[in-house]
Amino acid sequence: MAAAGKGDGSRGADNTNSATTGDDIDGFAVAVVREDTRWNVTALEPSALTDLADAERQLRALRATSAVFGLLNVDDEFFIIVRPAPGGSQLLLSDATAAVDYDIAVDVLDALNVEVPDIDPDEIDDVDPWEEGDLGVLADLGLPDAVLSIIVGDTDLYADEQVGMIAARLGFSDQLSKVLDTLGR
């Protein structure tokens, strides 16, 4: 498995690959729950940013009777959507090249049965990112796969901006903003 990896704002050669806890990685992890006609957004523990199994555990612990999913913004480099289901989680990784530097991205690719890209870390800035996973992960909640594909494909945006676009399209941007304010973001 790759090192846990901590980005320094730019991918590639300057990464130290030394982060081992969620406290070492910048970003945020939130749970989003659809309750009847309202959205509820809550912060997840920082460990969700480094361990896919832990993120899934935290989401399942919510015991929601309606739709629940997690949005993980890892170092503003990439994001992950995790949607627990009885047969296994639906997953979307916004940038598969992140697996070169981040264990959680490796975990997602492993869960998707996708090989980790064989990219030289010194050349990663020259490689166009691509998503892996289920672009239809939020389609039943009102975000069609074609729209999510456009959001993921906009490489001029940071991951937190992409997550903000997802929140705006689904109608929980105010709730997300409140949680991010409490996290100091």
* Domain assignment present for 10: no
pLDDT at 84: 94
Residue 9: inside a domain, yes or no? no
In a domain, residue 119? The reply is yes
d(CA 145, CA 147): 5
Q: What is the pLDDT of residue 104?
A: 98
Distance CA 100, CA 10 (A): 13
> Measured in Å, how far apart are the chain's first and last C-alpha atoms?
30
What pLDDT, on the 0 to 100 scale, is given for residue 123?
Answer: 87
Quick one: CA dihedral 85, 145, 157, 132, positive or negative?
Answer: positive
Q: What confidence score (pLDDT) does residue 20 get?
A: 40
Domain that holds residue 66: 22-182
Instruction: Tell me, yes or no, whether 89 lies in a domain.
Output: yes
Model pLDDT, residue 14: 37
pLDDT tens for the chain, 185 residues long, are 333 443 433 333 333 343 444 457 899 999 999 988 899 999 999 999 999 999 999 999 997 788 999 999 999 999 999 999 888 999 999 999 999 999 999 999 999 999 999 998 888 888 999 999 999 999 999 999 999 999 999 989 999 999 999 999 999 999 999 999 999 87
Q: What is the pLDDT of residue 35?
A: 87
Residue 5 Ramachandran class (φ > 0 left, ψ -120 to 50 alpha, else beta): left
Residue 124: what pLDDT?
A: 87
Q: Is residue 86 part of a domain?
A: yes
* 136 falls within a domain: yes
Whether 58 is in a domain gets the answer: yes
Task: Please tell me the total count of domains within the chain.
Answer: 1
In a domain, residue 5? The reply is no
* pLDDT for the residue numbered 113: 96
Look up residue 117 and give its two tokens: 């890209």
